[in-house]
Amino acid sequence: MGMTITEKIFAKGAGKKSVVPGDNVWLNVDVLMTHDVCGPPTIGIWKKEFGDKAKIWDKQKLVIFPDHYIFTKNPHANRNVEILRAFAKEYDIPNYYDVGTERYKGVCHIALAEEGYNIPGTVLFGTDSHTCTSGAFGMFSTGVGNTDAAFILGTGKIWEKVPESLLFTFDGGLPKYITAKDLILRVLGDITTNGGTYRALEFNGDAIFSLSMDERMTLTNMAIEAGAMNGIIEADEVVENYVKERSSKEYELIKSDEEANYKAKYRYNANDFVPLVAKPHSPDNIDTVFNVKGRKLTKCYIGSCTGGKLSDFVSVAKFLFSNEVRVPTFIVPASTYVAEQLEVETISGVTLKNIFEKAGCVITQSSCAACLGGPMDTIGRAQDGEVIISTTNRNFPGRMGSKKAEVYLASPLTVAASALTGEITDPRDYM
């Protein structure tokens, strides 16, 4: 019987010939990633449970990115970073990317890719639900809590149930007003926020393999919004080129068998897509931009591991070039690399950064910022009564700050078009 790519990586990671969905297996972990919110409690559990014998299973495989509550005066939040710093020093952790230093990277999922930790065919766990982002590299990646992470930290292993897979095939080509965000919003509308629970979402088709790594990561990033264990795209040349530039590690290109078993298969024609939004207060509350256009906004937000990558800002800059925003618009580069590139990439000779500044946007430092609300002094945090359109991934009540704010999720193109008018706007009207 054939296996899907996810099942094959499970079998490999568990040292078995084959696995079937529902099997509980112990996986060998290739990389464990943590950050400032879940790192300190993970370390606490690891110390408590392993006591004096506490040993990190493999220091090279532990990666720590402070990124969530970074630029705040909140003393508790800053204490978390201090705990990570002390831990990195005490145990001499090679892959710690401290804030306030040149090594600081920004949002963990994007930093994992940029720093060469995403390797096709491998198994990556992280203490963050959007760890599924790394699946864009043809690998298995998923989020876990602190206890599981502490267990991995000491043993390099974790139990996991082999998921059933759902296959999403996108034929055709993407119209210029459509981005990966519109594709994943459509999937969420179709299968809802628990349609993927305990399952793998696999994406393929011509439209997918024509996407850049940035765009592929937008798709796999939001697999968790369907409750999925992982999102995954088979690695191709685009992935290989990206990985080779950043890592010298061996990799294995694993592909699903022709006769692999899927719980369900979905087929779309990318040519037919129209710009979509997720309305308040759930990522599966999908509608067309056309149907909600005209909704007055108080803020536009472009950032996060979903919508704060370089390709997202290139899309936005095309709209904002020689234009001014009508509502406060926040530009939050996901990583310090993306922030640097804003000063390098140009449109008609003008840097993206200049375009955004001239348009009247607020450009912030790289971090998770208001994507998850955060401490009260977090830049861009949602206030009571606000109506926001955002390139982020979640709009549950209070996710971006106030419970009394409404958040619409959309593609960078839709958010940029909306910034120009101060109301939800269809990007097709400006293209």
Determine contact, residues 414/307, Cβ cutoff 8 Å.
no
- Taking CB under 8 A as the rule, does residue 148 contact other proteins? yes
Q: What are phi and psi of 3, to 5 degrees?
A: -125, 150
Work out the angle between the directed axes of helices 213-221 and 310-320 (0-180°, nearest 10): 110
Q: Which of 18, 60, 147, 383 binds other proteins (CB under 8 A)?
A: 147
Indicate whether 226 belongs to the interface with ligand SF4 (CB under 6 A): no
Residues 210-239 that bind other proteins (CB under 8 A): 227, 229
Compute how many residues bind other proteins; rule: CB under 8 A. Answer: 49
CA angle at residue 339 from 109 to 310, to 5 degrees? Answer: 65
- Of the candidates 393, 199, 128, 203, the residue with the CA atom closest to the CA atom of residue 283: 393
Nearer to other proteins, 131 or 218 (CB): 131
* Contacts (Cβ under 8 Å, ≥6 apart) of 34: 42, 62, 63, 64, 65, 126, 127, 128, 149
Write out the binding residues for ligand SF4, residues 39-68 only, by CB under 6 A. 68
151, 177, 203, 337: residue in contact with other proteins (rule CB under 8 A): 151
- For the beta sheet containing 406-410, the strands, ordered from the edge strand earlier in sequence to the opposite edge, are 286-288, 276-278, 406-410, 387-390, 299-303, 329-332, 362-363
> Least separation, in Å, of the C-beta of 208 and other proteins?
24
Does the protein bind ligand SF4 through residue 366 (CB under 6 A)? no
Q: What share of the chain is helix, strand, coil (3-state, %, to 5)?
A: 40, 20, 40
Asked if residue 145 binds other proteins (CB under 8 A), the reply is yes
Which of 189, 107, 191 is closest to 392 using CA atoms? 107
Candidate list 197, 241, 269, 346; residue touching other proteins; CB under 8 A:
197
Nearest to 108 by CA among 69, 68, 70: 68
Q: Is 189 in the site for other proteins (CB under 8 A)?
A: no
Q: Which is nearer to ligand SF4, 5 or 372 (CB)?
A: 372
Element (H, E) at 116: none
Site for ligand SF4 in 84-143 (CB under 6 A): 107-109, 128, 130
Burial label for 1, CB within 10 Å (0-12, 13-18, 19+), is: exposed
Structure token pair of residue 223:
């697999």
Among the residue ranges 180-188, 192-200, 303-311, 422-430, the one whose residues contact other proteins (CB under 8 A): 192-200
Q: Note the Cα 368 to chain centre separation in Å.
A: 11
Indicate whether 194 belongs to the interface with other proteins (CB under 8 A): yes
In this chain, which of 84, 368, 410, 420 binds ligand SF4, going by CB under 6 A? 368
Q: How many CA atoms lie within 13 A of 172 on its CB side?
A: 12
Q: 229 vs 417, which CB is nearer to other proteins?
A: 229
Does 393 participate in binding ligand SF4 (rule CB under 6 A)?
yes
Q: Rule CB under 6 A: is residue 371 a binding residue for ligand SF4?
A: yes
Q: Choose the one of other proteins, ligand SF4, none that binds residue 305, judging by a C-beta under 5 to 8 angstroms depending on kind.
A: ligand SF4
Q: Which one of 57, 71, 198, 209 is in contact with other proteins (CB under 8 A)?
A: 198
Q: Give the max Cα distance, the chain.
A: 64
Name the residue nearer to ligand SF4 (CB basis): 107 or 158.
Answer: 107
Rounded distance between C-alpha atoms, residue 177 and residue 426, angstroms: 9
39 contacts other proteins (rule: CB under 8 A):
no
Q: How far is the CB of 346 from ligand SF4 (least distance, A)?
A: 26
Regarding 304 and contact with ligand SF4 (CB under 6 A), the answer is yes
The span of 94-102, 147-155, 207-215, 298-306 binding other proteins (CB under 8 A) equals: 147-155
Rounded CA separation 23/242 (Å): 33
Note whether 364 binds ligand SF4 by CB under 6 A.
no
Pick from ligand SF4, other proteins, none: which does 307 bind, CB < 5 to 8 A by kind?
A: none
375 forms part of the interface with other proteins (CB under 8 A):
yes
* Rounded least distance, CB 386 to other proteins, Å: 16
28 near other proteins, judged by CB under 8 A: no
| Dist. CA 105–CA 337, nearest whole Å | 7
Residue 161 binds other proteins (CB under 8 A): yes
Task: Report the chain's C-alpha Rg in angstroms.
Answer: 21
Strand order in the sheet with 199-204: 230-232, 199-204, 164-171, 264-269
| 335 is a contact residue toward other proteins (CB under 8 A) | no
Residues that bind ligand SF4 (CB under 6 A): 68, 107-109, 128, 130, 304-305, 368, 371-372, 393
Residues that bind other proteins (CB under 8 A): 24, 37-38, 41, 44, 48-50, 53, 69, 74, 76-77, 79-80, 126-129, 131, 143-148, 151, 154-155, 157, 161, 193-194, 197-198, 227, 229, 282, 372-376, 394, 396-399, 403
